[in-house]
Amino acid sequence: MIQTIAFYLFAVLVIASAVMVITARNPVHSVLWLILAFFNAAGLMVLVGAEFIAMLLVIVYVGAVAVLFLFVVMMLDIDVAALRAGFVRNFPLGLVIALVLLAELVLGIGAYRAGEIALGTPVAGAAQPVVASNTAAIGALLYSEYLFLFEAAGIILLVAMIGAIVLTHRPPKTQRGHQNISKQNQRRPEDATVMRQPTVGEGVEL
Amino acid sequence: MGYANSLYLTSAEIGLSITGLVLLLVTAWTGRGAARIITIAAAAALFGALVFTAFMMDDTMRGLAGYAFGDLFRVDAFSSLSKILIYIATIACLVLTPHYFDRRGEYRGEYPVLMLFSAVGMGMMVSATNLMTLYIGLEMSSLASYVLASFARSDSRSSEAGLKYFVLGGLASGIILYGISLVYGFSGTTSYDGIRLAFDTQFNTGAVFGVVFVLAGVAFKVAAVPFHMWTPDVYEGAPTPVTTFFASAPKVAAVAMLVRLAFEPFGGQSGSWQQIVIFAALASIVVGALGAIGQQNLKRLLAYSSINNVGFILIGLAAATPQGASAVLVYLAIYVFMTLGSFAALLILRDPEGDKLTSFADIAGLATRSPALAWCLLALMFSLAGIPPLFGFWGKFVVFQAAVQADMLALAAIGIAASVIGAFYYIKFVKVMFFDEPGEVRSFSAPVGHWAVLALSVLVVSPLGYLLTPWLGRMADAAGLTLFAIP
């Protein structure tokens, strides 16, 4: 019973927050909704007994990816003062979301203690349920049966890294915004400014 | 079986990956000076992989094919032939590259390294017999392509092309992944054989959605209408050697992947995807032909030409017979050489100051300024148009023959009619070169490598190419049959 309630709660909230991700006008809000969506997806994973994937979702997606998004979004040109002004107005909403998250945590842990949710029977020839703890099972599969794909995925990450460096790294000389402090200090007012005594009614020739 | 055999079957991919990693270290410590040497080393590694795959082709023709790593990866005549084409195209692109970037001093050792990883990904795509291998191979080759598209950083259009390709490519990957998740959900497995078995027993609406999503995503990757919008922009903006690469090797890989996907896991359900492929084929031919007519930029024109060619390739796929699969491979082989030749010619077209000449005005009267180049382009254009003495005709012929044998007379008839429209702009190309008044007199200077690629391509598309038909046909037939050999 508790699992069913938890399932519907998580499922509804995933969909609702996913809708909010794309409808929120403020990009920072979008990212926060995204975090809520990830949290609820993690809750769903806990319900089916895949606690390892649930933790991955929380650690990788909420912890790293979403925070990275938040940084990127904050670098965009957003009026911070307007955001701050909205803090008090948005506070009740934030509080509600925090309470919902808390309730979900309690419910999720309760549901996890109560055992796995009964899944529908798969259509045909589905993968056998794994008996061992699923962290161990994933590890065993990843390093034996799917070793080739695991290594290939590593190369994909390497390619992404090479790409990021190739596209952003510039050799020091052509670096934009390079500051030469001694050159700045050597500069005297006489080098850059001129005193003029213009007579009345005449302009200054520059 | 065991690991030793798996490692043997994947040694082309493993060798290329290790070479890529070593060259990456070398380029990190030597800087720009060694970029050319790294290019040569990468080309040598690809040549090694090519020779190995050619031997493998010989083995697989004698029935020594096999799965590697369980059911993840399959080496058979089909994958070997596709890989041979991919490696040839990648080597040619590496030959064409350094000279282009030299003037701006933007060439770096990472370029050949990314090409190597892209080749690894493409090899995985054509050998994939599991949706996970397919996706990982696709991402590896696509990610490298996004970076290559924006490699000329000082050129804003190159950055634009890279960003556009990245965003739209990411969307397509998402669509494929969504389709894969539906297919997995309804069949309970990601292995091609397993999916085929599961779909044979039960194929419901949800599974149809999965198949359609996967095919739509792959259609985006091969730039088939209606998922072709990105092609002209990306092809125009990306540096020309990168465009050459996009139009050749990844296209072969994506088409081969699509063919295997359609015939192996979804082969039992050909009725459900055939109409989609027929529509995409005809739409690609028509849009490719009509869209090219108004183009002034030669790279955009060749982009539409590639859309048009994908349409003809898909006709072979729509036939859903071993002859169709074989026709697709024959067409791909000829298409690769026509594309490499056309782009090599475009790369030779630059004035001594290093400015690239890419509009119709620049090739006006080319026949008087550089007769050799003009005659080479004439052969390539007539071949692309499918005019009989040239080899391009043979590709179109086998494709239409496969369609007719599969009782798709209407499809073949419309295709032939539309190819006549397409012939218009190829012939316009020739007309501008031979009959228009030459503009200012320019001399062209290009390294030997460019002329070598051009000469080789022209040799293949010339009537001499027909000497290859028995050999190519035999390999393609063997490759087509392997897809229909149900285990």
Calculated CA dihedral for residues B202, B203, B207, B212, nearest 10 degrees: 150
- The CATH number linked to A45 is 1.20.120.1200
- A158 and A108 within one domain: no
ipTM of the complex: 0.90
Residues of B in contact with A172 (CB under 8 A): none
Model confidence at B341: pLDDT above 70: yes
pLDDT of residue B124: 93
Cβ neighbors of B122 (< 8 A, separation 6 or more) are B83, B86, B137, B141, B249, B250, B252, B253
Rounded distance between C-alpha atoms, residue B401 and residue B132, angstroms: 34
Residue B69 contacts residue A147 (beta carbons within 8 Å): yes
Average pLDDT for B342-370? 78
* Of B213, B129, B231, B206, nearest in space to B174 by CA: B213
pLDDT band of residue B64 (cuts 50, 70, 90) is low
Give B214→chain A minimum CA distance, Å.
20
pLDDT band of residue B348 (cuts 50, 70, 90) is confident
Element at A20 (helix H, strand E):
helix A2-23
Residues of B in contact with A156 (CB under 8 A): 136, 139-140, 143
Structure confidence by residue, pLDDT tens digits, B378-401: 999 999 988 888 888 998 999 999
Average pLDDT for B350-359? 69
DSSP output for B334-368:
HHHHHHHHHHHHHHH-B-TT--B--BGGGGTTHHH
Residue of A177 and B363 predicted with greater confidence: B363
Q: Could you say which DSSP state residue A146 is in?
A: T
Q: Residue B69: which of A148, A160, A167 has the nearest Cβ?
A: A148
Rounded distance between C-alpha atoms, residue B369 and residue B362, angstroms: 11
Q: Whole-prediction pTM value?
A: 0.86
Size of interface A-B (CB pairs under 8 A): 86
- The answer to whether A149 faces chain B, any CB pair under 8 Å, is yes
Task: Evaluate whether residue A27 is within a structural domain.
Answer: yes
First-last CA distance in chain A: 85
Residue of A29 and B142 predicted with greater confidence: B142
The number of distinct structural domains making up chain A is: 2
- A107 and A5 within one domain: yes
Q: Pick the range with the lowest mean pLDDT from A192-201, B60-69, B128-137, B337-346.
A: B60-69
- The answer to whether A126 faces chain B, any CB pair under 8 Å, is yes
- A26 and A107 within one domain: yes
Structure confidence by residue, pLDDT tens digits, B213-243: 999 999 999 988 888 889 999 999 899 899 9
Cβ neighbors of B456 (< 8 A, separation 6 or more) are B337, B341
* Residues in B lying within 8 Å of A, measured between beta carbons: 6, 10, 17, 20-21, 24, 68-70, 72-73, 108, 110, 113-114, 117, 120, 124, 132-133, 136-137, 139-140, 143-144, 146-147, 150-151, 153, 162, 185-189, 194, 197-198, 201-202, 204
Model confidence at B275: pLDDT above 60: yes
Q: Pick the range with the lowest mean pLDDT from A114-128, B157-171, B360-374.
A: A114-128
Task: List, in sequence order, the alpha helices (H) in B268-408.
Answer: 270-293, 298-319, 322-348, 366-369, 371-385, 392-405
Residue B230 contacts residue B223 (beta carbons within 8 Å): yes
Rounded distance between C-alpha atoms, residue A162 and residue A155, angstroms: 10
- A144 and A63 within one domain: no
Residue of A141 and B18 predicted with greater confidence: B18
Q: Which regions of chain A are under pLDDT 50?
A: 123-126
- A150 and A50 within one domain: no
Task: Evaluate whether residue A30 is within a structural domain.
Answer: yes
- A71 and A38 within one domain: yes
Residue B304 contacts residue B410 (beta carbons within 8 Å): no
> What's the sign of the alpha-carbon dihedral A181, A185, A191, A192?
positive
pLDDT of residue B259: 92
- A143 and A102 within one domain: no
- A108 and A41 within one domain: yes
Task: Evaluate whether residue A3 is within a structural domain.
Answer: yes
Structure confidence by residue, pLDDT tens digits, B26-42: 988 887 778 889 999 99
Structure confidence by residue, pLDDT tens digits, A128-169: 555 667 788 888 888 888 999 999 999 999 999 999 988 887
Residue A37 contacts residue A21 (beta carbons within 8 Å): yes
Q: Pick the range with the lowest mean pLDDT from B32-36, B61-65, B222-226, B295-299.
A: B61-65
- A111 and A66 within one domain: yes
- A159 and A63 within one domain: no
Average pLDDT score, chain B: 88
Task: Evaluate whether residue A176 is within a structural domain.
Answer: no
- The answer to whether A155 faces chain B, any CB pair under 8 Å, is yes
pLDDT of residue B414: 87
Q: For residue A151, give its domain range.
A: 131-170
Residue of A110 and B109 predicted with greater confidence: B109
DSSP output for B129-177:
-BHHHHHHHHHHHHHHHHHHHT--TT-HHHHHHHHHHHHHHHHHHHHHH
Residue of B351 and B470 predicted with greater confidence: B470
* Exposure class string for B245-256: b at 16+ Cβ within 10 A, else e: bbbbbbbbbbbb
- A56 and A25 within one domain: yes
CB contact under 8 Å between B143 and A160, yes or no, is yes
Q: Which residues pair with B66 in a beta bridge?
A: B75
